[in-house]
């Protein structure tokens, strides 16, 4: 569980930190684009999104351990 | 683009056929699911599908339930209104599958199996050995979930009304409904909108029938079908919008030149017999003016329209259907006012914080961005409807594979929606006054431009599927709380399978009908009710459930204190918000999501009271905790 929360924190810092520096900007110049979207969206949202998805896939497939969950045996309710 | 944009939102008869096929498909899937119900253990089968769902079913029911009507109606409206900043607003979804499924999925499923529990209150009651815990949890679920049901019923009805539009058969049905409503000697019913009521009844009956018949199994398999339709709908729209705008870079550069509209009033003198109506477009001194408000003093000589929206024409955008005013008509524009943030700012739709009509700080401040990055994953994790799904998968291998699937699913749905509707603004300028209708309007426009109008029915099925897949889950959730947690566990533990079956059918029908009757005249601020309900559930359940699963010293009294603490903070912030604004709105101290404050109080109380109260015996700990947690 703590790994999951740590991953959340890492991506939060990446996304919000990058966007703070590059998306909240004043000035009338042309907004730079990358692959057709504003560059801050590409590097601050799209790339971390891809990284988070990749991490989730690798983590789920290779690091979450399989456990016997039980067979729904009858339990007592107090 | 001819006629009003709202009219454009109404699909043609070919679209209706495609949509009808979708509805038939839902019923076929529900019927097959109902026939496959296990005869063993009715309650476990009806409310949890006997914990037998594999990867496809589990992953898609989780994803489809999380995507509600707001995903396909409210979210596109926000993208349309505020631009690319919505990518930052929704960015928290990148870790939703990992957090919401990975953090406690295995442990919750394990405890639920050990306790032989079918509902979340039952899990809490068994793990914490405290009957009051289950009762408090049940009451909270019933209270908050009912708000959810109301909102989704309204959304379902509105989508259906938009789809049916001005089809003759529908108009005849509306006329008949109007007659019926007027004959009812009850003010609320007699004054209800007949088109809305007709669609509400159709929607409600459809959902209630398949949920009552098929239970959780039907809900899950219809969710699977609905999840596939949502996924396909988004991909089709993406392809169409990119082709029709000439590519994303071109669309974004055009969007950069667009500025938010100004609001104003106009006086039209010398109109003569010409009539202008709400939704018409006129050109005044090279600007495009949309008549949004009502026409006053239509005496043939002079008329005043308030408000109107004024757009600066931008090369590369679609041209609205401008109406030619006769020579001699004098037009005077007064009271012009721009957006509080983003007015006259080139590139407002491409930057943060995004344009906003009334907030000078813009749509998304940095603190709100942090709040939402927290809210999406942890709010999703804490929804009881998602927790129930975590109790239904068949083994941990299914969970792992489902995290993979949902990660890809959410990436496609949420990020690509931002792309679609940012580019869509170029094809459909001038919908700021009807932003909630931008999804069906864009679907209709894209398919008409592509010469495949029937495809609009498939695309419009996506938001409808989102609403249906949420309503069915919430309906069953409330029903299970009443039948299992209140009746079977507290009033009649020895109730027979037959009586439980009958009661489940009756309660599910009753709750559905009650929700339908409650929204015959829908409250104005329903979206605020949704926010209140989802935040409230997360504030009440997140900390108590996490501690219950991972902290051996957690007690029933601590869980109750945590739930009541979250409830008290949430309702307290609602009262504060209402006092400050006069609207049904939860206050956001320090510009932070209310959920963060709810969790703080809930966590402090849950831990403090747990330390002060007696924890369950060692045999309970041994029973519910893994010997080697992983």
Burial of B166 (0-12, 13-18, 19+ CB in 10 A): exposed
The strand pair at B281-284 and B322-323 is best described as: parallel
Query: Å from B478 to nearest chain A CA?
Result: 20
How near does any CA of chain B get to the CA of A49, in Å? 5
pLDDT tens readout for residues B368-410:
899 899 989 998 888 888 888 888 787 888 888 889 999 999 9
Residue B424 · residue B239 · CB < 8 Å = no
Please, what sign has the CA dihedral across residues B215, B220, B222, B226?
A: positive
Closest alpha carbon to B68 in B221, B201, B238, B223: B223
Q: Which of residues 346-365 of B touch A (CB under 8 A)?
A: 346-347, 350-353
Task: Identify the top-confidence range among A38-47, B178-187, B382-391.
Answer: A38-47
Residues in chain B: 630
CA distances from B3 to A63, B87, B240 (A): 56, 32, 22
Give B127→chain A minimum CA distance, Å. 9
Least Cα separation, residue A20 to chain B (angstroms): 7
Least confident span in B11-15, B92-96, B188-192, B467-471 = B11-15
- Using the Cβ of B416 and the Cβ atoms of chain A, whether some distance falls under 8 Å is answered with no
Q: How far is CA B356 from the centre of its chain?
A: 22
**pLDDT the model gives residue B626:** 62
**Confidence class of residue B628 from pLDDT cuts 50, 70 and 90?**
very low
**Min CA distance, B95 vs chain A (Å)?**
6
User: Residue B328, by phi and psi: left (phi above 0), alpha (psi -120 to 50) or beta?
Assistant: left
B623 vs A contacts (CB less than 8 Å)? 75
Mutate to test the interface with A, among B53, B98, B411, B619 (most CBs of A within 10 A): B98
Instruction: Quote the minimal CA–CA distance from A19 to chain B in Å.
Output: 8
CA distance A37 to chain B (A): 7
Please tell me whether residue B393 adopts helix, strand or coil conformation.
strand
Q: Which of B118, B255, B400 should one mutate to test binding to chain A, selecting the residue with the greatest count of A CBs within 10 A?
A: B400
Which residue in A has a C-alpha nearest to residue B365's C-alpha?
Answer: A24
C-alpha–C-alpha distance, residues B473 and B477, integer Å = 6
Question: What does the mean pLDDT of chain B come to?
Answer: 83
Which residue matches tokens 């730079």? A32
B131 touches chain A (CB under 8 A): yes
The pLDDT tens digits for B285-311 are: 888 999 887 666 555 567 788 788 999
Domains of chain B: 5-21+42-249+350-522 (1.20.1730.10), 261-337 (no CATH), 523-630 (no CATH)
**pLDDT score recorded for residue B630:** 41
How far, in Å, CA of B371 to CA of B593, rounded?
5
Residue B54 pLDDT:
73
**pLDDT tens-digit profile of B508-536?**
888 888 888 888 877 665 567 777 888 89
Residue in the block written with tokens 């109107």: B308
Q: Which residues in chain A have Cβ-Cβ distances shorter than 8 Å to B104? A: 1
Give the model's pLDDT for residue B475.
80
B257 touches chain A (CB under 8 A): no
What local confidence, expressed as pLDDT, does residue B8 receive?
A: 43
The stretch A36-61 carries a mean pLDDT of 96
> Residue A49: its chain B contacts at CB < 8 A?
91, 94, 411, 415
User: Chain A contact for B113, CB < 8 A?
Assistant: yes
Helix (H) or strand (E) holding B22: helix B13-35
- What is the Cα–Cα distance from B334 to A5, expressed in whole angstroms? 54
B238 part of contact set with chain A, CB < 8 Å? no
H helix or E strand, kind and range, residue A38: strand A37-38
Residues 6+ apart with CB under 8 A from B533: B144, B145, B147, B148, B151
Helix (H, G, I), strand (E, B) or coil at B444: helix
CA distances from B15 to B128, B158, B443, B448, B564 (A): 53, 17, 11, 11, 48
Which of B45, B137, B351 best probes binding to A when mutated, by most A CB atoms within 10 angstroms?
B351
Taking CA B234 as the corner, what is the angle to CA B96 and CA B148, rounded to the nearest 5 degrees? 55
Distance CA B120, CA B54 (A): 20
B88–A44: do the CB atoms touch at under 8 Å? yes
Give which of B47, B62, B92, B102 to mutate to test A binding, by max A Cβ within 10 Å.
B102
Task: Please state, as a whole number, how many other Cβ atoms lie within 10 Å of the Cβ of residue B34.
Answer: 16
Nearest CA in chain A to B247: A36
Task: Give the mean pLDDT of B57-61.
Answer: 77
Of B151, B229, B137, B241, nearest in space to B470 by CA: B151
Closest CA–CA distance from residue B206 to any residue of chain A (Å): 33
User: Residues A67-76: what's their mean pLDDT?
Assistant: 53
pLDDT at A76: 33
| A:B CB pairs within 8 Å | 182
Determine, for residues B369 and A71 on separate chains, whether the beta-carbon distance falls below 8 Å. no
Interatomic CA distance for residues B337 and B283, integer angstroms: 18
Of A16, A48, A59, the CB nearest to B98: A59
Residue range B597-624: average pLDDT? 91
pLDDT confidence of residue B572? 94
Q: Are residues B464 and B458 in contact, defined by beta-carbon separation less than 8 angstroms?
A: no
Strands of B233-375 (E only): list them: 262-269, 281-284, 287-296, 302-311, 322-323, 330-337
pLDDT one-digit tens code per residue, B258-271 = 999 999 998 888 76
pLDDT > 90 fraction of chain B, expressed in percent and rounded? 25
What strands lie across the sheet with B302-311, from one edge to the other? B322-323, B281-284, B287-296, B302-311, B262-269, B330-337
Cβ–Cβ < 8 Å for B200, B520: yes
Q: Do A72 and B251 touch (CB under 8 A)?
A: no
Number of Cβ within 10 Å of residue A68's Cβ equals 10
With CB atoms and an 8 Å threshold, state whether B113 touches A38: no
- For chain A, how long is the longest CA-to-CA vector? 68
Q: Are B415 and B87 in contact (CB under 8 A)?
A: yes
What confidence category does residue B9 fall into, taking pLDDT thresholds of 50, 70 and 90? very low
Give residue B15's pLDDT: 65
- Distance, CA of B140 to CA of B528 (rounded, Å): 18
A contacts of B399 (beta carbons < 8 Å)? 60, 64
Q: Which residues of A touch B103 (CB under 8 A)?
A: 1, 4-5
Q: What is the pLDDT of residue B604?
A: 97
Check pLDDT > 80 for residue B321: yes
User: Are B545 and B124 within 8 A, CB to CB?
Assistant: yes
Query: For position A75, what pLDDT does the model report?
Result: 35
- pLDDT, one tens digit per residue, over B537-589 is 999 999 999 999 999 899 999 999 999 999 999 999 999 988 887 777 788 88
How many CB atoms neighbour CB B468 within 10 A? 30
* Joined tokens for residue A36: 């057709």
Per-residue pLDDT at B4 exceeds 70: no
For residue range B184-236, list pLDDT tens digits in order.
Answer: 777 667 777 888 888 888 888 888 887 777 777 777 777 788 788 888 889 99
Q: How far apart are CA A44 and CA A25, in angstroms?
A: 14
Which among A53, A64, A73 has the least Cβ separation from residue B400? A64
Of B142, B564, B605, nearest to B384 by C-alpha is: B142
If contacts are CB pairs under 8 Å, which of residues 393-412 in chain B contact chain A?
Answer: 395-397, 399-401, 403-404, 407-408, 411
How much of chain B exceeds pLDDT 70, in percent?
Answer: 90
Asked whether the beta carbons of residue A69 and residue B109 sit closer than 8 angstroms, the reply is: yes
The SS3 call for residue A34 is strand
**ipTM of the prediction:** 0.90
Rounded to an integer, what is the distance from CA B8 to the centroid of its chain? Answer: 23
Q: Cβ(B49)–Cβ(B216) under 8 Å? A: yes
Nearest to A37 among B91, B250, B252 (CB): B252
B366 touches chain A (CB under 8 A): yes
Tell me how far apart the alpha carbons of residues B35 and B16 are, in angstroms, rounded to a whole number: 29
Judging contacts by C-beta atoms under 8 Å, the chain A residues touching residue B106 are 64, 67, 69
d(CA B115, CA B255): 56
DSSP structure class, residue B433: G
């Amino acid at each position: 569980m703590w790994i999951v929360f740590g991953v959340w924190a890492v991506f939060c810092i990446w996304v919000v930190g990058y966007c703070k520096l590059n998306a909240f900007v004043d000035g009338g110049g042309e907004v730079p684009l990358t692959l057709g979207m504003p560059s801050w969206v590409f590097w601050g949202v799209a790339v971390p999104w891809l990284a988070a998805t990749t991490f989730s896939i690798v983590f789920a497939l290779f690091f979450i351990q399989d456990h016997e969950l039980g067979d729904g045996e009858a339990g007592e309710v107090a | 683009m001819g006629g009003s944009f709202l009219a454009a939102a109404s699909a043609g008869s070919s679209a209706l056929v495609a949509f009808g096929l979708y509805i038939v498909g839902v019923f076929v899937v529900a019927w097959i699911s109902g026939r496959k119900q296990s005869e063993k253990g009715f309650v476990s089968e009806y409310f949890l599908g006997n914990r037998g769902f594999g990867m496809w079913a589990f992953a898609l029911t989780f994803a489809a339930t999380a995507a509600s009507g707001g995903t396909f109606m409210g979210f596109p409206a926000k993208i349309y209104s505020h631009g690319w900043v919505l990518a930052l607003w929704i960015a928290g979804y990148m870790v939703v599958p990992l957090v919401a499924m990975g953090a406690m999925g295995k442990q919750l499923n394990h405890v639920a199996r050990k306790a032989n529990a079918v509902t979340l209150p039952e899990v809490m009651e068994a793990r914490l050995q405290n009957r009051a815990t289950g009762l408090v949890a049940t009451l909270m679920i019933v209270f908050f979930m009912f708000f959810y049901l109301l909102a989704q019923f309204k959304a379902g009805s509105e989508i259906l009304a938009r789809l049916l539009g001005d089809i003759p058969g529908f108009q005849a049905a509306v006329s008949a409904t109007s007659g019926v409503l007027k004959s009812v000697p009850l003010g609320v019913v007699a004054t209800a909108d007949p088109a809305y009521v007709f669609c509400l009844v159709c929607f409600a009956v459809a959902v209630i029938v398949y949920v009552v018949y098929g239970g959780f199994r039907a809900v899950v398999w219809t969710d699977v079908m609905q999840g596939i339709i949502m996924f396909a709908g988004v991909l089709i729209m993406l392809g169409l919008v990119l082709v029709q705008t000439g590519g994303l870079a071109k669309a974004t550069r055009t969007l950069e030149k667009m500025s938010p509209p100004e609001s104003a009033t106009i006086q039209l003198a010398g109109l003569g017999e010409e009539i202008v109506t709400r939704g018409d477009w006129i050109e005044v001194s090279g600007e495009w003016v949309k008549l949004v408000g009502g026409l006053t003093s239509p005496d043939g000589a002079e008329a005043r329209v308030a408000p109107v929206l004024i757009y600066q024409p931008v090369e590369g955008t679609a041209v609205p259907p401008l109406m030619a005013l006769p020579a001699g008509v004098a037009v005077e524009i007064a009271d012009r006012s721009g957006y509080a943030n983003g007015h006259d700012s080139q590139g407002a739709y491409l930057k943060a914080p995004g344009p906003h009509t009334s907030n000078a700080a813009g749509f998304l401040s940095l603190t709100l961005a942090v709040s939402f990055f927290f809210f999406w994953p942890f709010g999703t994790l804490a929804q009881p409807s998602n927790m129930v799904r975590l109790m239904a998968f068949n083994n941990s291998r299914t969970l792992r594979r489902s995290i993979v699937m949902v990660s890809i699913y959410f990436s496609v749905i949420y990020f690509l929606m931002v792309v679609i509707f940012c580019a869509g603004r170029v094809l459909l300028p001038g919908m700021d006054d009807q932003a909630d209708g931008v999804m069906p309007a864009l679907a209709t426009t894209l398919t008409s431009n592509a010469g495949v109008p029937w495809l609009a029915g498939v695309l419009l099925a996506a938001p409808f599927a989102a609403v249906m897949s949420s309503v069915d889950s919430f309906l069953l959730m409330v029903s299970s709380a009443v039948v299992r947690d209140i009746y079977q566990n507290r009033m009649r533990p020895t109730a027979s399978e037959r009586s439980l079956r009958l009661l489940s059918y009756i309660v599910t029908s009753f709750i559905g009908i009650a929700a339908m009757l409650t929204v015959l005249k829908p409250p104005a601020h329903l979206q605020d009710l949704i926010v209140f309900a989802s935040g409230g559930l997360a504030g009440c359940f997140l900390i108590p459930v996490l501690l219950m699963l991972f902290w051996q010293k957690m007690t029933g009294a601590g869980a109750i204190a945590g739930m009541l603490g979250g409830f008290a903070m949430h309702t307290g912030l609602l009262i504060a918000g209402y006092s400050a604004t006069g609207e049904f709105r939860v206050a956001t101290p320090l510009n932070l999501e209310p959920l963060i404050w709810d969790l703080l109080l809930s966590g402090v109380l849950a831990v403090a009271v747990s330390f002060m109260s007696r924890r369950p015996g060692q045999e309970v700990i041994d029973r519910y905790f893994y010997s080697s947690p992983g």
